[in-house]
Amino acid sequence: PWAAERARLHAALGPQGGGGHWRATGAGLWESTRTLVDRVRAGIVGELASDRREETRVRLLLLDAALGQHDAAWLCAFDSGDEGPLAGLAAVARHAGWWWPYEKVAVLSERPVALHRDEAGRLDRGDGPALAYADGFELYAWRGMPVPRDFLDELTTLTPERIRDEENAELRRVMLEHYGYDRYLEESGAVPVGRDEAGVLWRVRLDGDEDVVMVEVVNSTPEPDGTHRTYWLRVPPSTRTAREGVAWTFGLGAEAYEPLQQT
């Protein structure tokens, strides 16, 4: 039915019209769903395949699957009403996860029992599985990046020394995001490398990774108690002055950054 519906839509709208229809309906949803689908496939392959031949077999099996609820982006782009040609696929999508339809039998899987994503639609959870199924299959991730299960348990006991000793640059970046760049700078013995009217520039060098560079700025508007709150702005590693870093946060070059009034 998918092929027939695609052919019908293509004949009715043409290549350009079909592309516009897809962008107006399912494209945005599929952008984030496709990433999730790829992560599920990779997780299943990693759990079931013990060698290259087995990996190929598992991948081919997964490519045969109808995606159930994850077909929502495609279903909203086609006629999936109760009387339409995709009504059966839509009904399964409302109640099941991935499934495999064969000539005389269908294999259906449950939908996830837990799903945690960030504002960008990426798998994200710091205190448990970001995706979990009732049979025990789980995926762990921090802002879209796969992480080992035991790694998350360690996030609550991080220290600057532990972060600095982590050899995997991607995991170290996750540690820094969870710990807080500003807190890391304060507790790691970092020293300022520049100071001007815009703020203070800090830099921490990390082995095998780009430098952590931040600008310390003070809010010019006082708090109710009369104090001024300090903020930390992460800026590109190439930043050489605090002024340049603050200007970058506004999409400007240092020479063009001339605030008339700060609030």
Q: DSSP letters of 101-170? A: E-SS-EEE-PPPSEE-B-TTS-B--SSS-SEE-TTS-EE-EETTEE--HHHHHHGGG--HHHHHH---HH
Q: Are 212 and 176 in contact (CB under 8 A)?
A: yes
Structure tokens at 259: 């605030």
Region of residue 199 (phi > 0: left; psi between -120 and 50: alpha; otherwise: beta): left
Distance separating alpha carbons of residues 153 and 160, to the nearest angstrom:
16
Question: How does pLDDT run along the chain (263 residues), one tens digit per residue?
Answer: 888 888 888 899 998 898 999 999 999 999 889 999 999 999 999 999 999 999 999 999 999 999 999 999 999 988 878 888 899 999 999 999 999 999 999 999 999 999 999 888 889 998 899 999 999 999 999 888 899 888 888 888 899 889 888 888 788 888 888 888 888 888 887 878 999 999 999 988 877 788 888 898 887 777 676 777 778 888 999 999 999 999 999 898 888 877 755 54
Cα of first residue to Cα of last residue in the chain, in angstroms, is 59
pLDDT value at residue 121: 85
pLDDT value at residue 173: 80
Distance separating alpha carbons of residues 76 and 251, to the nearest angstrom:
37
Q: Select from 144, 123, 99, 121 the least CA-distant residue to 29.
A: 121
Region of residue 146 (phi > 0: left; psi between -120 and 50: alpha; otherwise: beta): beta
Question: Is this prediction's pTM over 0.85?
Answer: no
pLDDT value at residue 208: 79
Distance separating alpha carbons of residues 120 and 32, to the nearest angstrom:
8
Q: Are 123 and 138 in contact (CB under 8 A)?
A: no
pLDDT value at residue 262: 55
Q: Are 174 and 142 in contact (CB under 8 A)?
A: yes
